[in-house]
Structure 1
Amino acid sequence: MPGQLVLVDDEPGLRDAIQAYLEDSDFTVHTATNGAEGWELVQRVLPDLVISDVMMPQVDGYQFLETLRSDDRFQATPVIFLTARGMTSDRIQGYEAGVDAYLPKPFDPDELIAVVKNLLGRQAKLQAAAVDDETISIAELARQMAEIRALLQQKGPLAITPPPVQHDFTPREESVLELVVDGLMNKEIAKRLETSVRNVEKYVSRLFSKTGTSSRTELVRYSLEHGLIRPNSTI
């Protein structure tokens, strides 16, 4: 469970106390004093989770979060806000900006640890779902995909219908989806897109979430049946 965390807070005493408490729970904690410094830090560390204050000089928590969510690498990274502002409107603003949890100061350190572990556990499950099909042989996965395409071809063009909802895929997610449908596994996709396997796992888990699927086979079937990706006749 313990992983790499980034903590962004401009109060030295509180920042040091939180860092010490998290490190006592075996987390590796990297710290920054404001949103601008935090953004530089997360790009170097690629953390498993980010904890940020809201009221900070130069770049506040909301601006920092907006920058995070605008980058494909951090769209799925769990983010916790720590703030003295406990108004409902402030919490709503945080959730709308894409924060995963919101703890108003003062808070119990044990509650923070519980929230961190909960979010990391949830993230781990998503990533596990994204890679569980890695245990399936490439030949077996190819066979399953071939069956899906054969079934669609038997049903004819009407089998492919418009998606029931608008899918807000990022360009990188679309690239990953195309390669998943082509039968490539995560390591192969990472090599093709010149990125890390970890990032591919995050993209695949987001595709699961956005399409309501839970495996690569389901994702391929859903994509073909809803016209998200046209069948590739060469596979």
Structure 2
Amino acid sequence: MSAQLLLVDDEPGLREAVKDYLQESGFTVQVASNAQEGWELLQQTTPDLVISDIMMPQVDGYQFLKQMRDDPRFQTLPVVFLTAKGMTTDRIQGYQAGVDAYLPKPFDPDELIAIVENLIARRTATHSGELGETPDIADLANQIAQIKALLTQRQGITTTPAPIKIDLTPREQSVLNLVTEGLMNKEIARRLQTSVRNVEKYVSRLFSKTGTNSRTELVRFALEHGLTK
């Protein structure tokens, strides 16, 4: 399957020209004429990469990027800025906001293709690297949302959970408590001052000890059997 791209630009001529070139290069492209439309498309499906203009009405590219980076689902989603704002200060602002690449207009379409291919290749390599297969970020965000829903439901229940004895190490217990709070591995690693790889190892052990297969199942099991402290 070809990589899925989202192109956001308020200039119809440029938008269609870039879309056509990307499609001719083998990519599947969705287009939006402004950041609001782009955000709505992101809610429907997560692309492999976003290409966005900066100078757009109402919500500009910097605000659109911040909106993405503030959402756990899109924190690692590659973003390329296409813009007429070519000053060094503009590029610095883009990189500080979390953009992955910055291509001032007018640009060579072949350079854009090279940037897109490179970013997607790097993202794929990261997801399948030495840490093993990484869960899809949208799926993980959905699990976190389900966990928070479980916690909300639990707050209205006064019955005592059925206790069960499972031998957990102090670090496994700490990781379980933070998973139950709805934190992702990166946040847990930061909280416990350890590596993401170690957190993944502890989460895997928790799955094994509780007979669960996902974070949602793990949290539900922990709440039902009083494993959190």
TM-score, scaled to structure 2: 0.63
Q: Residue 192 of structure 2 corresponds to which residue in structure 1?
A: none
* Unaligned runs of at least 5 residues, structure 1: 135-148, 153-169, 195-235
Deviation at 1:7, TM superposition (A): 0.3
What do residues 143-186 of structure 1 show as CA deviations (whole Å, max 9, x unaligned)? Answer: xxxxxx8xx9xxxxxxxxxxxxxxxxx9323469656413249x
Deviation at 1:45, TM superposition (A): 1.6
Pairs within 5 Å for 1:40-189: 40-129=40-129, 132=132, 171-173=183-185, 174=187, 180-183=201-204, 184=207, 188-189=213-214
Q: Kindly indicate whether the alpha-carbon contact (under 8 Å) linking 2:9 and 2:33 is maintained by their aligned counterparts in 1.
A: yes
Q: In 2, distance between residues paired with 1:190 and 1:22?
A: 37
How many positions carry a matched residue from both structures?
162
C-alpha spacing 1:193/1:3, structure 2 compared with 1 (3 Å)? farther
C-alpha spacing 1:10/1:85, structure 2 compared with 1 (3 Å)? same
Deviation at 1:131, TM superposition (A): 6.1
Q: Residue 15 of structure 2 corresponds to which residue in structure 1?
A: 15
Deviation at 1:130, TM superposition (A): 6.2
Deviation at 1:188, TM superposition (A): 2.7
Q: Kindly indicate whether the alpha-carbon contact (under 8 Å) linking 1:84 and 1:106 is maintained by their aligned counterparts in 2.
A: yes
- Aligned Cα RMSD in Å? 3.1
Residue 184 of structure 2: SS of its match in structure 1? helix
* Unaligned runs of at least 5 residues, structure 2: 135-168, 172-181, 190-195, 220-229
C-alpha spacing 1:193/1:26, structure 2 compared with 1 (3 Å)? farther
Q: Kindly indicate whether the alpha-carbon contact (under 8 Å) linking 1:179 and 1:189 is maintained by their aligned counterparts in 2.
A: no
What do residues 114-154 of structure 1 show as CA deviations (whole Å, max 9, x unaligned)? Answer: 000000000000001166369xxxxxxxxxxxxxx8xx9xx
| Amino acid across the alignment from 2:202 | V
Q: In 2, distance between residues paired with 1:193 and 1:131?
A: 21
Deviation at 1:2, TM superposition (A): 3.2
| Percent of residue pairs identical | 56
Residue 56 of structure 1: SS of its match in structure 2? coil
Q: Kindly indicate whether the alpha-carbon contact (under 8 Å) linking 2:51 and 2:79 is maintained by their aligned counterparts in 1.
A: yes
| Amino acid across the alignment from 1:117 | E
Residue 76 of structure 1: SS of its match in structure 2? coil
Deviation at 1:63, TM superposition (A): 0.3
C-alpha spacing 1:192/1:3, structure 2 compared with 1 (3 Å)? farther
Q: Kindly indicate whether the alpha-carbon contact (under 8 Å) linking 2:7 and 2:30 is maintained by their aligned counterparts in 1.
A: yes
Q: In 2, distance between residues paired with 1:193 and 1:52?
A: 38
Q: In 1, distance between residues paired with 2:26 and 2:11?
A: 23
Deviation at 1:4, TM superposition (A): 0.8
TM-score, scaled to structure 1: 0.61
C-alpha spacing 1:126/1:192, structure 2 compared with 1 (3 Å)? farther
